[in-house]
Amino acid sequence: MTRPAEPGLEFSVREIVAEPYTAAPQLTARLRIEDGTGERIHAIVLRCQVRIEPQRRPYDQAEQDGLRGLFGGRERWSDTLRPFLWMQCNTTVQGFTGSTEVDLALPCTYDFDVVGSRYLHALGNGTVPISLLFSGTVFTRHGGAAGFGVRQVPWDCEARYQLPVDVWRQLISFHFPHSGWIRLDHDVLAGFAAFRERRGLISWDETVRTLLSDTGHGADADDLDEVTR
């Protein structure tokens, strides 16, 4: 699953794992970097864009329903199902000759205002096709010669990986067990708080369940008016 950037320089992803003990949700990608030029690489300042490629996997009916808000109805997917940016990250690779492996931190969020979070939340099983696009600067040393050589990581440096959905779920369970969160407008949040106090409700979960209880799909119109007025 590797695309060579130029003779001697290739990137591949060995695995991606969920980190259980970080302050914020983080996946870690184990990268393998191979350079066949024979030069002694002193360091690489590496940048990476991680893109999700949703068009490279099938979807069952439940997933299609869950993705309607992102991509529209199934009949529109030939136009709307396109790769999108998930995150940007960077690292510094220590010196090596020939090949090395390095960990790349992939900081994540469960914020439902972020397209990647909404997309991943809607998936059932299987894998998520992702593409890592690399750029940066390579610093080299030539034997006993003084000084450093400098070259750029070529723009077409890329590696693909099939991220198991279960790895994403494990990450979220580490940091948000049986829960999640959404961002609300300040006035709407104030309305929720006032509604909770008027009804004597003991938790936010109970507040939302009360709003949804009449139909099972949406809040009663009078309740919504009570929250937003």
Number of other residues whose CB lies within 10 A of the CB of residue 95: 13
**pTM, entire model:** 0.78
What is the chain's mean pLDDT, rounded? 86
What pLDDT does residue 13 have?
Answer: 98
- List phi, psi (to 5°) of 169: -60, -40
pLDDT tens string 162-210:
999 999 999 999 988 877 667 778 888 888 788 888 888 888 788 888 8
Question: What span, in angstroms and rounded, lies between the C-alpha atoms of 132 and 102?
Answer: 14
Which CATH architecture is the domain 2-175 placed in?
Sandwich (2.60)
Domain boundaries, the chain: 2-175, 186-228
pLDDT tens string 57-94:
999 999 999 999 999 999 999 999 999 999 999 999 99
What pLDDT does residue 228 have?
Answer: 47
Percent of the chain with pLDDT over 70: 86
What pLDDT does residue 148 have?
Answer: 78
Question: What span, in angstroms and rounded, lies between the C-alpha atoms of 114 and 98?
Answer: 39
